[in-house]
Chains A and B, each alone.
Chain A
């Protein structure tokens, strides 16, 4: 398996622009997670899905952030409009809990810079 795939790997955009981050989880996994990592705040859980349904979005910083999972193979995290404080590395991770295994597999991340 190719692992969790994220695109783009790097994104540089101007303040006010819309940004869309993409994630393809590992086939067969039933959970998908979006995290944000910064030096100041560490690794923060933004939102997670179970079987394509959002379960907990309490970590989403504000209404500018939205996430979707239209099917088991694809998820997006959108920021509109983007702000400089959104600059961070965004990780997607997936896991399979069918055998009570809770380990998460992380993608390589998308480094977002908002100028």
Chain B
């Protein structure tokens, strides 16, 4: 069964705007990660946040994690047309080593 549920399923914005994607999960986790997938390609890791962290930044990416609500958000600031892709959250279940469970993804379209 899917661990992560993402919201929205699809998001369309203009270049320069910010994009926010949300992820909810069900069980205890070790870490939560965000991945990007361009059409027809493999997934690429973007950022990892551990269960004892609340916020993390990487370039134009900002991830938050609220373990009490079992939710995370990914913010992409000043979006570009090249950010158009599908974004997936993935949760690392507690005590299951390197295993990840992926959500269904958010399809982001950034219009120039």
Contact = CB atoms under 8 A, between A and B. Distances in A.
A55 B52 CA distance: 26
A104 B100 contact: yes
Given A103-B33, A106-B42, A50 B101 contact: no
B13 interface: no
A43 interface: yes
Contact of A43 (B45, B96, B102): B102
A55 B48 CA distance: 23
Nearest to B33: A103
19 contacts: A33-B99, A35-B102, A42-B2, A42-B104, A43-B105, A45-B101, A48-B99, A50-B97, A55-B97, A55-B99, A56-B96, A91-B42, A102-B30, A102-B100, A103-B45, A103-B48, A106-B44, A107-B42, A108-B41
Contacts of B96: 56
Interface residues of A, number: 25
B64 interface: no
Interface of A: 4, 30-31, 33, 35, 42-43, 45, 48, 50, 55-56, 91, 93, 95, 97, 101-109
A97 B97 contact: yes
- Indicate the size class of the contact surface on chain B: 20 to 34
B31 A102 contact: yes
A43 B48 CA distance: 19
A42 B102 contact: yes
Nearest to B90: A104
Contacts of A42: 2, 102-105
Contact of B98 (A4, A31, A43, A109): A31
